Amino acid sequence: CGYNERRYNEKGGIIENSFNEGTVSGTGDYDVLNIGGVCGYNYGGTIKSCYNTASVSVTGKKVGGVCGDNSDGTSTITNCFNEGTVRGKETIGGVCGNNSGTIKNCYNTASVSGQYSVGGVCGDNYEGPITNCYYLSGTVADGKGGIGGKDDENGKAVEMSKDRFKSGEVAWLLNGSKSVFTEESTLAWYQKLGENADAYPVLKSTDHNTVYKAPLFSCDGTTRIGEYANKPEGDKLSHNYQMAEKADEGTSNLYSEECAICHN
């Protein structure tokens, strides 16, 4: 969407469950502005449960992985993520370039770069509440933070390591530190943990990818390897059985299988 506009006293449009996987690009300096992977200019509208996976690369300003400019104070971006490279000149953010609205429960995992006002989540924020958002370590050059020009503050836009993303911690946090539906909130974020874990939280519920705050054990059942699992009571990895290299000696078995992890 180029322009998601609120007219007169009406509510703005809703962009929901939408995604972009195609490159967005443009050239020009200050005449190219408000460019986003999902929406360019969100003026009083709502963007929720959307994501962008492709590069957003322009030479202008107000550029974001999900939205270029989240304007007007009543605009909201909720439960969105970006994993496409974001590049521009000024006011560049992993989720949103320029913000005076609300940004909540979002994350960015791709590199964000520009000359001025660059942030892992938001490039430039004009007093809009940005809460419970995260960005991957190393995605913002020169140690700039989650919100351009500001130090990270807990509860706003916070840096997270790859391991913490993969562990399920970020998915849990994005859901408001909940793993059950309540009357006020439904779960938006999911992630498969353990073997073949999703590297990052996803918006799609499949079988058994709800994230619970519960211990994850290694396959031997004794080594605690994580604090989040896909079962409410906790979980453990499966053994990784492989055929032993040598034939068994002194038994009637020719070969046996051994777990590559715990050697059971």
Of the pair 9, 222, the CB lying nearest Zn ion is at 222
Of the pair 23, 264, the CB lying nearest Zn ion is at 264
Stretch 56-85 residues interacting with Zn ion (CB under 5 A): none
Q: Does 164 bind Zn ion (CB under 5 A)?
A: no
Of the pair 90, 235, the CB lying nearest Zn ion is at 235
Q: Does 216 bind Zn ion (CB under 5 A)?
A: no
- Report strand pairing: 241-243 vs 257-259: antiparallel
**Per-residue mark of binding to Zn ion, 165-204 (x: CB under 5 A):** ----------------------------------------
Of the pair 122, 219, the CB lying nearest Zn ion is at 219
Q: Does 261 bind Zn ion (CB under 5 A)?
A: yes
Per the listing, tokens 């909540």 go with 104
Point out which span in 15-23, 25-33, 133-141, 251-259 binds Zn ion (CB under 5 A): 251-259
Stretch 220-239 residues interacting with Zn ion (CB under 5 A): 239
Q: What is the closest distance, in whole angstroms, from the C-beta atom of residue 219 to Zn ion in the complex?
A: 3
Of the pair 213, 239, the CB lying nearest Zn ion is at 239
DSSP string, the chain: --EEE--TTSPPPEEES-EE-S-EEE--SSSSEEEESSEEEEES-EEES-EE-S-EEESSEEEESSEEEEETTT-EEES-EE-S-EE-SEEEESSEEEESSEEES-EE-S-EE-SEEEESSEEEESS--EESEEEETTSBGGG--SBTTS---TTSEEEE-HHHHHHTHHHHHHTTS--S--SS-----B---STT--SS-BS---TT---BS--EE-TTSS-EEES-BSSTT-EEPPP-EEE-SSPPSSSS-S--EEETTT--
Q: Does 219 bind Zn ion (CB under 5 A)?
A: yes
Point out which span in 38-46, 200-208, 212-220, 243-251 binds Zn ion (CB under 5 A): 212-220
Q: Indicate which single residue of 197, 202, 203, 259 sits in contact with Zn ion (rule: CB under 5 A).
A: 259
Interface residues toward Zn ion, by CB under 5 A: 219, 239, 259, 261-262, 264
